[in-house]
């Protein structure tokens, strides 16, 4: 990590009734922190939150993180069809724009592993100059969704969603995110690539 890279503040939110009440150990926040820490070369300030599946609290937490200057806010949990799964509704409630391609690609990736990926309702939205993305709840699924799928030779078979995140953040006026290509290569048009 170099001081030449723009610093970035990232909100990471794990949404779980049981983990937030101490019923079991939260695995979402460590998984997000680990993957983003490996994927990005920028100095990162994480803003972690562990909260229950309460729609108004989720919305308020997302607004708080955006207002605190997080260019990216990533949630995990609460995106299934169960009655307590309200993360997508809470996210859409505070959105300026919906970014449906992210949810479409997340389900495409998941379907390579389990047919029940069609039950996931993850969304991504823009609020102000922040990108907010709902990810699945399991650490393995978080990594697969962000990173995509590779074959035995290490070639990308299905793009992960994170390849599009840095350019999206460029377009909404956020910091220039530099990725470690070994983890996830960001895609930008040639005229948007910063030459070092």
Tens of pLDDT, residue by residue over 142-178, are 999 999 988 888 888 888 999 999 999 999 999 999 9
Q: Which two tokens stand for residue 115?
A: 């047919």
Look at the pTM and tell me if it is higher than 0.85: yes
- Sign of the CA dihedral with 28 first, then 31, 34, and 40 last: negative
Tens of pLDDT, residue by residue over 54-110, are 999 999 999 999 999 999 999 999 999 999 999 999 999 999 999 999 999 999 999
Q: Residues 141, 109: contact at Cβ < 8 Å?
A: no
With vertex at residue 42, the alpha carbon angle to CA 37 and CA 44, rounded to the nearest 5 degrees, is 60
Q: Which residues pair with 75 in a beta bridge?
A: 13, 134
The architecture in CATH of the region 8-192 reads: 3-Layer(aba) Sandwich (3.40)
Q: Domain segments of the chain: what residues?
A: 8-192
With vertex at residue 10, the alpha carbon angle to CA 147 and CA 130, rounded to the nearest 5 degrees, is 95
With vertex at residue 145, the alpha carbon angle to CA 123 and CA 65, rounded to the nearest 5 degrees, is 50
């Amino acid at each position: 990590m170099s001081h030449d890279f723009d610093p970035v503040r990232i909100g990471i939110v794990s949404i779980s009734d049981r983990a937030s009440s101490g019923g079991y150990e939260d695995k979402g926040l460590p998984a997000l922190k680990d993957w983003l820490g490996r994927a990005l070369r920028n100095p990162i300030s994480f803003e972690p939150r562990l909260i229950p599946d309460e729609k108004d609290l989720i919305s308020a937490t997302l607004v708080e993180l955006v207002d605190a200057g997080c260019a990216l806010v990533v949630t995990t949990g609460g995106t299934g069809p169960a009655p307590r799964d309200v993360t997508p509704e809470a996210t859409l409630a505070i959105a300026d724009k919906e970014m449906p391609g992210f949810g479409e690609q997340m389900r495409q990736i998941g379907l390579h592993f389990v047919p029940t990926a069609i039950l996931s309702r993850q969304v991504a939205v823009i609020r102000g100059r922040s990108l907010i993305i709902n990810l699945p709840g399991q650490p393995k699924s978080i990594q697969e969704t962000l990173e995509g799928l590779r074959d035995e030779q290490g070639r990308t078979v299905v793009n992960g969603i994170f390849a599009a995140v840095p350019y999206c953040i460029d377009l909404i006026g956020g910091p220039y995110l530099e990725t470690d290509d070994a983890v996830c290569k960001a895609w930008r048009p040639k005229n948007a690539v910063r030459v070092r």
